[in-house]
Amino acid sequence: MAEIVLDKVTKRYPDGALAVSEVNIEIADGEFVILVGPSGCGKSTTLNMIAGLEDITGGELRIGGQRMNERAPKDRDIAMVFQSYALYPHMTVRENMAFPLRLAKVDSATVRAKVEEAAQILDLTPHLDRKPANLSGGQRQRVAMGRAIVRSPKAFLMDEPLSNLDAKLRGQMRTSVSRLQKQMGTTTVYVTHDQTEAMTLGDRVVVLRGGLVQQVGAPQFLYDHPANLFVAGFIGAPSMNFLAVTIRAEGATLLAEAPGLRLGLPPAIGQTLAGRRDQRVTLGVRPEHLSLGNGALQCSFEANVEVLEQLGSEIVLEVRAGDASLTVARIDPQARLVAGDRLRLCVQPERLHFFDPSTEQAIR
Amino acid sequence: MAVITPGKRFQWTVIDVVVVVYALVPVLWTLSLSFKSKATIGDGNLLPSEWSFQSYLDIFQTNDFLLALVNSIGISLIATAIAVVLGTMAAYAIARLDFPGKSVLVGFSLLVAMFPQVSLVSPLFSIERSVGIFDTWPGLILPYITFALPLAIYTLSAFFREIPWELEKAAKMDGATPAQAFRRVIAPLAAPGVFTTAILVFIFCWNDFLFAISLTATTRSRTVPAALQFFTGASQFEDPTGQICAAAVVITIPIVLFVLFFQRRIVAGLTSGAVKG
């Protein structure tokens, strides 16, 4: 077990392409950190650099206080779970899980005991003598996990380990990965493009885009206080609505105005926006923070229902207010709505987000 | 799967039979000739009217054929072993690594494969005579390796490309050195490719006539395809057709055995289950 420190870690490919640019992350001992972002954001490259499968072009990687840049993967004492599982097809489940221990020249009795213990934890005991080809996707995934946990490494690296499973199994495995990590208390770096996994699994989430860290923080913090437009749009599902609005002053209160829309802003937000009077800003509001009802006129607006999605437990609406198209979630399924209805939507002003349209940074 | 109608089935049966007959008739004819007596050899019957093992006895009467057989087996096995080992290493590098000059190397090996061998016979003859390996085993093994390597590299690199690279990464993460990763993970998975290549290279060496006839002079290194050429009948006017056919049948046996032996190791889909397909 150890802490992992990335100090201005950079990856530049020989052709000049910059994959990861000066990433600084300090991962505490036992922490579960998620690297999340769209494809091509450099999250897997970062993970591979921690693993030692890719060279680090600049900066320093320290595991347990020691510089790791030049160490071969086998000397870093970290285990990795691959997206494709990468099981050895010519070996049985038992041999697959024993492989790292055998390479470490552990004696047979201990290997046996450790493999059986891991199999017990992962519910693989009946399958120990089968080959990977005869296992289901979920079982293969667990064998891959088993191979990682048998040798109690300093850290686990997981590269989208659940993305090949079907939705239901993914949900189950998500819970067991989380439980396993808590139980073992091993530092874990987990790469995913799925924001649900990021939100539910991690102690902290690192959002990456184009090789740059956008924001680091606890999942709830990222949801509540996204640092920029990208994080705001990436975290949360369905994703946040963005509107171009103009800030106007009406007496003492500030208003956010767009065609067909006028929202009064509470004094707390008003202060941060005071300097932006008559300027255009981007307003962000999460679909779940819009609701039906006749709230104060100040914080509500009229909209037309365009598309209506019945999900059983809730209704998701696509509505149009003036020029803007918005998603509204968590509508009571009992509400009798049809496409084309005109309705009044209410916002909670304290849950509005504002971003500078040119820098895309949050206005705080 | 499309439904196979009786008409389709009939059509395929006819085509299959035609192909099998086309391929097997010369073999059967050779077999038949080898079992005919000298008197009936020209009678044109597929089934010998009287069975005779005289031709087989004839070819083993002198040591010439036996020596040629030993030469053939020895030279082909050694050439195959060296070509497959070198080819495995080269193919692995080509499939996995990006190194400067890779495309040049691949291009050159392709060039070797395309080069007309006939045009090399006289230079090789002169070179081997001045170097002193003319009419020796190395004198045949060397050109066999040269011409078998492109074949080996091509076949093997196709097999190596099929092996998911992540397996090697996983082995590295599990604590393997590159050599251990190759030996314990990659090599076992490449085995079917290695055996396939071995079969192809062995057949190439075994069947070669051009080099065997040009670069040998005595029974010291003459292989069977060349030795057949030196069969003579009992008299000047007798054609050694029977003996040649008997020898042809005999030299087919090792190759059939070789293929059968290695074919069992060619298990299709050995890598299935490694990664999510």
Cα B112 from chain centroid?
Answer: 18
Provide φ and ψ at B20, rounded to 5°. Answer: -65, -45
**Closest residue of chain A to B267, computed from CA coordinates:** A90
Percent of chain A with pLDDT over 90: 64
**pLDDT band with cut points at 50, 70 and 90 for residue B275:** low
- From A51-60, A85-94, B226-235, the region with the lowest mean pLDDT: B226-235
pLDDT of residue B178: 87
Which pLDDT belongs to residue A281?
93
Average pLDDT over residues B31-39: 87
pLDDT band at B277 (very low <50, low <70, confident <90, very high): very low
CB atoms within 10 A of CB A147: 28
B-chain CB neighbours of A47 within 8 Å are none
Q: What is the pLDDT, as a whole number, of residue B266?
A: 65
B contact test, residue of A83, A99, A111 with most B CBs within 10 A: A99
Beta-carbon separation of A99 and B275 below 8 A: no
pLDDT of residue A294: 67
Nearest CA in chain B to A97: B174
Quote the pLDDT of residue A10.
Answer: 94
Do residue B175 and residue A100 have CB atoms under 8 angstroms apart?
Answer: yes
pLDDT tens-place string over residues A99-135: 999 999 999 999 999 999 999 989 999 999 999 989 9
* pLDDT for residue A142 is more than 50: yes
**Phi-psi domain of A24 (left: phi exceeds 0; alpha: psi -120 through 50; beta: other):** beta
The pLDDT of residue A4: 94
Identify the residue with better confidence: B228 or A132: A132
Band of the pLDDT at B193, cuts 50, 70, 90?
Answer: confident
For residue B95, what pLDDT band results from cuts at 50, 70 and 90?
confident
The torsion angles phi and psi of A165, rounded to 5 degrees, stand at -95, 160
Report the residue from B184, B269, B275 with minimal CB separation from A86.
Answer: B275
Touching check for A146 and chain B: CB below 8 Å? no
Mean pLDDT to the nearest integer, A34-45: 92
Task: Please write the tens of the pLDDT for every residue from B166-188.
Answer: 899 999 999 999 889 988 998 88
The mean pLDDT of chain B is: 86
Sort A52 into a burial class: Cβ within 10 Å, 0-12 / 13-18 / 19+: buried
- State residue A266's pLDDT score: 81
Q: Are A212 and A21 in contact (CB under 8 A)?
A: yes
Higher pLDDT pick, B39 / B171: B171
Condensed to tens digits (0 to 9), the pLDDT of residues B110-127 reads: 888 888 889 989 999 999
When pLDDT is cut at 50, 70 and 90, the band that residue B191 belongs to is confident
CA A24, CA B162: separation in Å to the nearest integer?
A: 37
Query: Are B174 and A134 a contacting pair at CB < 8 A?
Result: no
Task: Provide the pLDDT for residue A7.
Answer: 94
Residue B61, phi then psi, degrees to nearest 5: -70, -45
- Pick the closest to residue B268 from B213, B212, B195 (CA basis): B195
A271-275, B16-20, B167-171 — which is least confidently predicted?
Answer: A271-275
pLDDT band at B99 (very low <50, low <70, confident <90, very high): confident
pLDDT at res. A81: 94
Task: Tell me how crowded residue A129 is: count the other CB atoms within 10 A of its CB.
Answer: 9
pLDDT tens per residue across span A177-225? 999 999 889 999 999 998 889 999 999 999 999 999 999 999 999 999 9
| pLDDT at res. B22 | 94
What does the pLDDT average to over B186-197? Answer: 86
Confidence of residue B150 (pLDDT cuts 50, 70, 90): very high
Least confident of A4-13, A252-261, B170-179, B236-245: B236-245
In terms of Cα–Cα distance, which of A70, A61, A73, A71 is closest to A26? A61
A330 part of contact set with chain B, CB < 8 Å: no
Buried b (16+ CB within 10 A) or exposed e, A160-191: bbbebbeeeebeebbebbbebbeebebbbbbb
- Distances from the Cα of A276 to the Cαs of A241, A250, A352, A356, in angstroms? 21, 14, 16, 10
| pLDDT at A155 exceeding the cut of 90 | yes
pLDDT at A355 over 50: yes
Please name the amino acid found at residue A221.
F
